[in-house]
């Protein structure tokens, strides 16, 4: 009796396989997945998300399942308003150990961006997602985490980016990355930036560039609390990094920062700003 039950069952399995062989299933998955990626390319993220949910429920093969998890998180990120769900989606994707370096690096960067958004909305629990990536094995992820962390208004948290930024300045060769690292370090540890040599100038043997000098003195003792010297090109980058809101605020206090730097370039005179309340005097000049 047992044998009679098993044989028909085996026949059913064989017939099922013949009716829908593995290659046909793979071909169907590939076609379906290609259509989903076209929707994403066309920025039809809501429709692509619905298709991805249905696709994942069909239990696709591993080769399609893993990238589908990435694209689902990407759709959630692009739709907006579902930052935490998108972040968890990227974590799930990375947990599968995909070896696609491009997708994995993008997922790490998206986790950093999403964590920043959630942090700025008042949820500090996502700050470790950024801080933990300061020691990531991929340097691009470390760099991006440090650059984003440096922009935080919470100085203690922002300062954790300094070691990575200093390492960037010591080792990196890409000029754009170097400039971004300098701007970031200027925000979190300006005195450290003052000690960083200009490696590009040293290598090329160019003549000494013009510098922007900033001193903060104590009004009572007239002693410098901070002395910073920046290549004028970096000063322009720092100026460009100031948000329009901050520029407007300075304008309300009587300081047109763009005009000040322009005038200093042409005249080289020393600008002095006294802050009686703080007991400080700021001196700025170019030579």
Task: For residue 206, name the pLDDT band (cuts at 50, 70, 90).
Answer: very low
114-141 pLDDT, tens digit each: 999 999 999 999 999 999 999 999 999 9
Q: What is the mean pLDDT of the chain?
A: 79
Angle at CA of residue 60, ends 54 and 63, nearest 5°: 130
User: What local confidence, expressed as pLDDT, does residue 286 receive?
Assistant: 76
Give pLDDT, residue 283: 75
Segment among 130-139, 143-152, 160-169, 264-273 with least mean pLDDT? 264-273
Does 42 or 220 have the greater pLDDT score?
42
Q: What is residue 264's predicted lDDT score, i.e. its pLDDT? A: 66
Per-residue pLDDT band at 189 (split at 50, 70, 90): confident
**Weakest mean pLDDT among 2-6, 107-111, 154-158:** 2-6
Average pLDDT over residues 230-247: 61
Cα 26 to Cα 62: distance, rounded to the nearest angstrom: 11
Q: Percent of the chain at pLDDT above 70?
A: 67
**pLDDT for res 149:** 95
The whole-angstrom separation of Cα 114 and Cα 124 is 12
**Residue 204 binned pLDDT confidence (cut-offs 50, 70, 90):** very low
pLDDT category, 67, cuts 50, 70, 90?
very high
Six token digits for residue 19 = 């009716």
The segment with the largest mean pLDDT, out of 80-84, 255-259, 275-279, is: 80-84
Q: Give the start-to-end residue ranges of the domains of the chain.
A: 206-287
């Amino acid at each position: 009796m047992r044998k009679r039950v098993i044989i028909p069952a085996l026949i059913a399995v064989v017939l099922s396989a013949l009716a829908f062989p593995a290659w046909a299933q793979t071909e169907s998955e590939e076609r379906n997945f290609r259509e989903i990626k076209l929707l994403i390319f066309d920025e039809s993220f809501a429709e692509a998300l619905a298709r991805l949910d249905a696709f994942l429920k069909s239990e696709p093969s591993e080769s399609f399942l893993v990238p589908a998890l990435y694209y689902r998180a990407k759709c959630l990120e692009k739709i907006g308003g579902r930052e935490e769900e998108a972040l968890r989606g990227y974590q799930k994707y990375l947990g599968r150990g995909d070896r696609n370096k491009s997708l994995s690096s993008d997922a790490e960067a998206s986790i950093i961006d999403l964590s920043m958004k959630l942090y700025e909305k008042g949820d500090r629990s996502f700050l470790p997602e950024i801080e933990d990536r300061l020691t990531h094995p991929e340097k691009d992820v470390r760099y991006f985490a440090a650059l984003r962390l440096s922009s935080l208004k919470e100085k203690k948290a922002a300062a954790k980016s300094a070691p990575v930024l200093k390492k960037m300045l010591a080792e990196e060769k890409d000029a754009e990355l170097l400039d971004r690292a300098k701007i970031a370090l200027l925000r979190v540890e300006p005195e450290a930036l003052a000690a960083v040599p200009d490696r590009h100038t040293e290598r090329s043997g160019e003549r000494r560039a013009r510098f922007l000098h900033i001193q903060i003195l104590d009004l009572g003792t007239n002693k410098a609390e901070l002395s910073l010297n920046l290549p004028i090109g970096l000063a322009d980058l720092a100026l460009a990094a100031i948000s329009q809101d901050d520029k407007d605020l300075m304008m309300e206090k009587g300081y047109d920062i763009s005009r000040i730097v322009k005038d200093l370039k042409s005249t080289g005179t020393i600008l002095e700003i006294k802050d009686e309340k703080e007991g400080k005097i700021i001196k700025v000049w170019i030579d």
